[in-house]
Chains A and B, each alone.
Chain A
Amino acid sequence: DIQMTQSPPSLSASAGDRVTITCRASQSVSRYLNWYQQRPGKAPNLLIYGASSLERGVPSRFSGSGSGTEFTLTITGLQPEDVATYYCQQTYSSPQTFGQGTKVEIK
């Protein structure tokens, strides 16, 4: 199975800050890397697919980059409603696997 490792496990930032989350794959997943936001008690919500494509309806402050084994999710201008846990997911090979999550809080 491909292992997905996210860093950091958690972070605290001020509103308006730029926040970056990293996801590393144990082997290449090409661009088959998706990002989700999960608020407490809710189902995950797709933010980014194919490493860098913004899902319809997702604010443009969210962006993704990378390919192969290293990927980043960036929030440019953190908002209070962005408090959530963020997960990366590889769908390159079965079984698809998720990172362990990054919890984002507001200072």
Chain B
Amino acid sequence: QVQLVQSGAEVKKPGASVKVSCKASGYTFTRYDINWVRQAAGQGLEWMGWMNPNSGNTGYKQKFQDRVTMTRDTSINTAYMELASLTSEDTAVYFCATASSGLYSAFDIWGQGTMVTVSS
């Protein structure tokens, strides 16, 4: 079935970087943009940016522009989100998601989420 499977939980120190993976299966990976959304504990959802797996083109929310990088490896149908210069405010669950129907860009497929904890 169509699914996105993310890498496991990470614990990082302030100032470090984290790289989260999102492996697609059940559909043609290069067909739909991969988006990243994060959620701090008890908080709402925050969109971070998108990547086109076919071209590698990206678009980032301005807040993350200077320290986020979204990439992909089409040989293994996997997208990556790397966030640098981590602070405690980056402690959150990070989701990848895609809009496979293309209708109103609604995210109909989500990964299970990856918990990233930033602590000294």
Q: Which residues of A are at the interface with B, using a C-beta cutoff of 8 A? A: 31-34, 36, 43-46, 49-50, 53, 55, 87, 89, 91, 94-101
Contacts and interface: CB of A to CB of B under 8 A. Distances in A.
A61 B108 CA distance: 19
B45 A87 contact: yes
Nearest to A94: B59
Interface residues on B, range: 20 to 34
Interface stretch (B7-15, B76-84, B99-107): B99-107
Interface stretch (B24-32, B67-75, B110-118): B110-118
Contacts of A100: 44
Given A43-B111, A95-B61, A95-B62, A50 B47 contact: no
B103 A50 contact: yes
B113 A46 contact: no
Interface of B: 44-47, 59, 61-62, 95, 97, 101, 103-108, 110-113
Nearest to B49: A95
B2 to A, nearest CB: 12
11 contacts: A31-B104, A34-B104, A43-B95, A43-B97, A43-B113, A44-B107, A49-B101, A49-B103, A50-B106, A87-B44, A95-B47
Greatest chain B CB density within 10 A among A33, A49, A50, A101 is at A49
Contacts of A98: 44-47
Contacts of A96: 47, 105
A28 to B, nearest CB: 15
A36 B45 CA distance: 11
Given A87-B45, A97-B47, 8 more contacts: A34-B104, A43-B95, A43-B97, A43-B113, A49-B101, A55-B108, A95-B47, A98-B44
